[in-house]
Structure 1
């Protein structure tokens, strides 16, 4: 199901069974009896995802099953009765620390993978604008927009002035 289809059928707060690691048929995963807390959206990698209550990262729509309110309520009560009591310091919402850390590491890895394409794009923009010597709009853009980008990002994108300023500051 794509993002638009999901959002047309399911409002924020929809009761769901969510599987943050893997679905039961694919291995030993954890099932969350929860509700959506955002509309569906595309992740940076292009996967349709949604955020749910009690989970620290998004979950692919392929791992989220909407359920009827009465089924959700009945399942939630049954799980509450059967749930072992874990120390509060080891629980983060519905997820344990052991479940949350891999999800956070995966998110960090995904964000790091985006770094180089963004720097490449900024490098191209900077080169294009600086090659427009005498173009009033390009010079204005460099003065007003480019200078708002953090210094270390401009330096990583090939801005020699930003790199020199960082060197002077000892960074």
Structure 2
């Protein structure tokens, strides 16, 4: 369909399903339940296109399907319902206590092992920033960003003020 014919049949605000990128039959495309926001026109490449609500660029008319109001409303309702639904939890099986405890202990051990490199990195950052006395940006960072890190983590990273505060029962 050319732009003039589309405009004759479908005024601005027409309810449509639009497929930016590709149509479902051509691949894993996305469907927009939307409406037109401009008249159709020719793009610089000569393709008939239209802009729709919710999309920042034009869409070729071959990727726009005008739909009846009841079909559009039903699709919009289904879209809204899908947005509010949480994914269904998947049952992982019924582990016995004897199976679960070793797995949990292994996970805890793994997490503890991954903690040390993070603490070492934070310690290096803290030392580097603290060494920049007089550097306005470093001081601002220490005052605003560093203080947002939990007190016990700051103490582990070598912040003596945080360690003292923890020792005084401040946290």
Tell which structure's C-alpha radius of gyration is larger: 2
> TM-score, structure 1 length as denominator?
0.49
TM-score by length of 2: 0.49
